[in-house]
Amino acid sequence: MTLPWRGSANPPLDVDHLPLFRGLRPLKKWRYLGVYGPDVQMCVGIARIGPAYQAFWAVHNRRTDGFRDRAALWPIVRFDEASARFDHVDVFYDRAGDPVEVVSRHGKYPIWTRKTPVRVTGTIDGVAIDSPGLLDESAGHHARVTKWSWSAGCGTSDTGAAITWNITDGVHDSPTNSERTLWVDGVPREVGPVEFAADLSRVGSLEFHAERERARHDRMILIDSNYRQPFGTFTGSIDGVTLRDGYGVMERHDVRW
C-alpha cells in the first residue's frame, strides 16, 4: 500500500471491516457533523475507541449568544447517514460538494478520513435552518499519543462563491495527498501546509475570532483526552481566496488512547 493516498472513492483500506484491535492499538472511529452559518453553529458526533463509546453535541445560537453542550458515554443523540436529532435539534443533511478521502500512516498503521461538504436543513430550537456544514468520518488504529490542530468552516468568497474548508496539522498532514482542502462551489482542491497559532487565533492567512467554546478534559483508565473547539468567525484568505464572511471552528486535541 503506497501512502499517503488521496481520492474521492475506493480508498486502499477496507474501512468497513477494520478489526477492533491491531496489536495493542484499539480502533478509533467517529462521525462528526459541523453546521457553520451566520445564525447558528452546531456540532454533533459519535466517537468509539475500541469498545468504548461517547456521544456529544454543542449548539451556539449567534442570534441570542446562547450556548449549550453535552457529552455522555451512552447514546444521547440519534445520528445516522442523513440526519441528527438531539435536545430540540432535528436536522437533515445532504452532500453539497465532492467528498475527499485520505489514507495515511499514523504510527504503525494506516488511518482513514472522509470530509464532505453538506447542506443542513431542519429545525434548531423550533427555528428553521438552511445552512452549510461539513461531515467528518474517520477511522483507524491511531498511535497511542495523538495530537492535532484542525479548522473547518463555511462562508462566501469576495466573488460570491460558496466556500468550505478543512485544514489540519498533526494527522493526514503530509505535504501532498493530505486532507487539507478548500471547496469552491463544491469543487475541492488541496491546500498546502499551514501553521496554526498557539492560541488558535489564526491558521495560515485566516484570522479567527472566537465567540463560544466547547472544551473537555477526560481522564479514564487508559485514555487521557484534552480537547478544545471554539466556535466563531473568520476573516482573511485561504489558498488565495479572500473571504467575504466565514463561520466555523478551530480545534486542538491532545490525547493518549
Q: What is the pLDDT of residue 129?
A: 97
- DSSP-derived secondary structure for 137-155: EEEE---SEEEEEEEEEEE
> Model confidence over 151-209: pLDDT tens digits?
999 999 999 999 999 999 999 999 999 999 999 999 999 999 999 999 999 999 999 99
Rounded (10°) CA dihedral 151, 169, 6, 92: -20
pLDDT of 221 strictly over 90: no
Report the chain's mean pLDDT, rounded to a whole number: 98
> Model confidence over 151-163: pLDDT tens digits?
999 999 999 999 9
Q: What is the pLDDT of residue 220?
A: 86
pLDDT of 1 strictly over 90: no
User: Which residue shows C-alpha cell 496554526?
Assistant: 196
pLDDT of 241 strictly over 90: yes
Would you say 46 and 77 are in contact if contact means Cβ atoms under 8 Å apart? yes
Please name which of 69, 105, 181, 91 lies closest in space to residue 136, comparing C-alpha atoms. 181
- 3-class SS at 188? strand
Listed by start position, the domains of the chain span 27-256
Neighbours of 149 (CB within 10 A): 23
